[in-house]
Amino acid sequence: MGLKLYKSLSEESIIEGCIQRNQRAQRMLYEKFAPAMYPLCLRYVREISEAEDVLISGFMRAFEKINTYSGKGSFSGWLRKIMINQALGHLRKNKTMYLEVDIEAAEYQQQAIDSGNHLEADDLLKLVRQLPMGYRTVFNLYAIEGYSHKEIAELLGISENTSKSQLSRARGLLQKQILGENQPTTKVIKHE
């Protein structure tokens, strides 16, 4: 019964419990936000086990820094920034982020999309996950998270032009994938 009462607490009460290092509050916070944060981690890190590691380390970081949350803006947005920073840190730490990728090296096999001639959001996210690491990172930060090229350049330690180039190449590869997979089969009939 105590657990049911605890589950009905407001987000502010749960955050306050986390500030006090209450493990139940931390668990509640994790259970509330992990389902939304895991796909974010997975967009940056391809491997499921690595995305799970980023998620856990992101929550650990959030619990360490939760007293810095000012209450201005959404908690979800604050936590989202922590997760993005953890994912980028993971990429840097594991040296798997290569922002300068040769366009020929970026070719990859097309995967069939089950949904026929229209592209669903899940299908697009699958295509984004197939992008080379640098392209995917810049695309996620710019197109999905809404960062500017200047902010991306600062976060990744690259120039704004490199960020723009990576985004352009990512869009080109995505467009090629989408057009290639959704191309209708046509027959040319010659009239004599």
Q: pLDDT tens for residues 32-55?
A: 999 999 999 999 988 899 999 999
Q: Are residues 80 and 116 located together in one domain of the fold?
A: no
Supply the range of the domain harboring residue 151. 97-182
State which of 75, 95, 115 marks the end of a domain. 95
Give the pLDDT confidence score for residue 189 in this predicted structure.
Answer: 47
95, 117, 149 - which closes a domain: 95
Which CATH number covers residue 124?
A: 1.10.10.10
Specify whether 65 is located in the same domain as 105.
no
Q: Does 4 map to a domain?
A: no
pTM for this prediction: 0.69
Split into its structural domains, the chain has a count of 2
- Please report, in tens digits, the pLDDT of each residue of the chain (192 residues total): 344 444 568 999 999 999 999 999 999 999 999 999 999 999 998 889 999 999 999 999 999 999 999 888 899 999 999 999 999 999 888 864 444 444 334 343 333 333 344 557 777 788 888 899 899 999 999 998 999 999 999 999 999 999 999 999 999 998 888 887 654 444 444 444
Q: How far is residue 100's CA from residue 153's CA, in Å, rounded to a whole number?
A: 13
Are residues 169 and 129 in contact, defined by beta-carbon separation less than 8 angstroms? no
pLDDT attached to residue 173: 92
Q: Could you tell me if 150 and 160 lie in one domain?
A: yes
> Do 85 and 153 share a domain, yes or no?
no
pLDDT at 185: 43
User: Are residues 111 and 128 located together in one domain of the fold?
Assistant: yes
Q: Which of 95, 115, 148 is the last residue of a domain?
A: 95
CATH classification at residue 79: 1.10.1740.10
In a domain, 3, yes or no: no
Domain shared by 16 and 62, yes or no: yes
What is the per-residue pLDDT for 181? Answer: 60
Indicate whether 129 and 151 sit together in one domain: yes
